[in-house]
Amino acid sequence: MKRVSLTQHLVEEQRLNNTIPAELRLLIEVVARACKTISHAVGKGALGEVLGTADTENVQGEVQKKLDILSNEILLEANEWGGHLAAMASEEMESIHPIPNRYPMGEYMLLFDPLDGSSNIDVNVSIGTIFSVLKAPEGMGTPTEQDFMQAGSKQVAAGYAVYGPQTMLVLTTGHGVNCFTLDREMGSWVLTQRNMQIPEDTQEFAINASNTRHWFPPVTRYVNEMMAGKTGPLGKDYNMRWIASMVADVHRILNRGGVFMYPADARDLDKPGKLRLMYEANPMSMIVEQAGGASTDGKQRMLDIVPTKLHQRVPVFLGSKNEVERVTKYHQE
C-alpha cells in the first residue's frame, strides 16, 4: 500500500476542493508537529519527570498537571513565529495570546485544549490534544477576545491527537474526516483511515453515571430507557463506556458509533455544563458532523451557538445521529 503523508494529503485536498490555502496547510502541519512533541513527552512519562501536578490552577480553577503546562508551552512556541496566525487561545490561559509583534501576523486564529483528559495522565490511559481553527475577521486590527466569538460553523479546520497505544491525528477541513497514525520510527504522520463515518444507530453510550442523582429529567429518561435493554422502549441492549477523556471517548465513537453525553446537571445551576464550547465542543462537533454524526447542547445544534465568553461552558450530546436526535427531542419536549 502506498503511504500518503499528512502533507501530501493536504496538498491533494487543496487541488481537489481548493479549501486549504498554503497558510492553512502550514498551520495544520505546525500543530501536527507540536502534537508529535507532546506525544513524545507523554510517552516518556515518569522518565521525563512530567507526571504529577504543578501546584498551580488554570483559569477554570482546575489544578494543572505538569503535562498540561508543558503541552500548552509546546503549542504556543510552535505556532508563534510562522506568520500564519493572528492570535491563539487556550483552555489553560485566562485571555488570548496575541502573536508577538516581532513576527508577521497571519489570517487565522487557533484555539486548543493542550491536554484533554488530565485525570488520566498519571494512570497511563489515553489522553489527547484538541484544536480548532477560525479565520480572523476582515479588517481586524489588534486581536481581541471579541474576534474569537464566532459560531462553530465558522471553523475552517478542527482536529485532535490521541496519545494511546498508537498516536493518531484526526482532522477535518470541511470535506470529511481523515485519520493519520504517527510512524514513530520515521517521525511522520501517515494516512491510515479515509472518510471516517459514524454509524447512525448505536448500542453504546458514554456518560459519567456517578452523577445520576444530579441529572435533569430528559437525561434520566433517556439513560433509563437504554438501561432497560431489549424489553424497554428502545428494544435493544446497550453497553456503557466511559474513559473520562473526551478525546478517547470521541475517537471510539468515530470508529464504531455511540453517543457521548456530558449534560448540565442540578449541582450548580450557574454552570451550564462542564465542557468548554470553543476548545472542546466546537472542534469535536465539526469532526462528528463531518463524519455523519450529530452534536447538540440538548436544545440546538452545537455549531450554531454564538459564543459570548472565551471560556464558555456547554452541555454536550454528540455521536450517532439517531441517538443524539432522540435525547435532544426529550429536552425539547
- Residue among 6, 192, 225, 39 nearest 128 (CA): 39
Clarify whether residues 12 and 33 are in a common domain: yes
Clarify whether residues 43 and 188 are in a common domain: yes
137 in a structural domain: yes
Clarify whether residues 127 and 88 are in a common domain: yes
Residue 44, annotated as binding a ligand: no
CATH of the domain at 166: 3.30.540.10
pTM, rounded to two decimals? 0.96
317 in a structural domain: yes
Clarify whether residues 158 and 81 are in a common domain: yes
Residue 55 has pLDDT above 80, yes or no: no
Task: Report the mean per-residue pLDDT for the chain.
Answer: 95
**Cα distance between residue 51 and residue 272, in whole Å:** 31
Clarify whether residues 180 and 208 are in a common domain: no
167 in a structural domain: yes
Query: Could you tell me the residue range of the domain that residue 209 belongs to?
Result: 204-332
Which of 193, 226, 243 is the endpoint of a domain? 193
Q: Provide, rounded to the nearest whole percent, the portion of the chain with pLDDT above 90.
A: 87
Clarify whether residues 145 and 17 are in a common domain: yes
- Residue among 214, 212, 293 nearest 250 (CA): 293
Residue 299, annotated as binding a ligand: no
322 in a structural domain: yes
Clarify whether residues 11 and 152 are in a common domain: yes
Q: Please give the tally of structural domains in the chain.
A: 2
Kindly report the number of other CB atoms within 10 A of residue 43's CB atom. Answer: 12
CA angle 211, 304, 149 (to 5 degrees): 95
Clarify whether residues 131 and 187 are in a common domain: yes
Residue 58 has pLDDT above 90, yes or no: no
Residue 118, annotated as binding a ligand: yes
Clarify whether residues 123 and 19 are in a common domain: yes
User: What pLDDT is attached to residue 63?
Assistant: 77
DSSP 310: T
Which of 159, 193, 227 is the endpoint of a domain? 193
Residue 318, annotated as binding a ligand: no
Clarify whether residues 222 and 253 are in a common domain: yes
**pLDDT digit string (tens) for 158-197?**
999 999 999 999 999 999 999 999 999 999 999 999 999 9
Binned at pLDDT 50, 70 and 90, residue 91 comes out as very high
Longest distance between any two alpha carbons in the chain, whole Å = 66
User: What pLDDT is attached to residue 268?
Assistant: 86
Clarify whether residues 291 and 218 are in a common domain: yes
Residue 329, annotated as binding a ligand: no
Residue 319 has pLDDT above 80, yes or no: yes
198 in a structural domain: no
175 in a structural domain: yes
Residue 1 has pLDDT above 90, yes or no: no
Residue 113, annotated as binding a ligand: yes
Tell me the β-bridge partners of 259.
205, 319
Residue 115, annotated as binding a ligand: yes
CATH of the domain at 284: 3.40.190.80
Q: Tell me, rounded to whole angstroms, the distance of Cα 30 from its chain centroid.
A: 17
- Cβ burial 165-203 (10 Å sphere, 16+ → b, else e): eebbbbbbbeebbbbbebeeeeebbbbbeeebebbeebb
Clarify whether residues 164 and 298 are in a common domain: no
Residue 116, annotated as binding a ligand: yes
Which of 193, 225, 255 is the endpoint of a domain? 193
Residue 215 has pLDDT above 80, yes or no: yes
* Mean pLDDT score, 230-238: 96
1 in a structural domain: no
318 in a structural domain: yes
- Residue among 187, 193, 129 nearest 162 (CA): 129
**pLDDT digit string (tens) for 122-165?**
899 999 999 999 999 998 889 999 999 999 999 999 999 999 99
Q: Which of 14-18, 21-25, 46-50 has the lowest mean pLDDT?
A: 46-50
Residue 77, annotated as binding a ligand: no
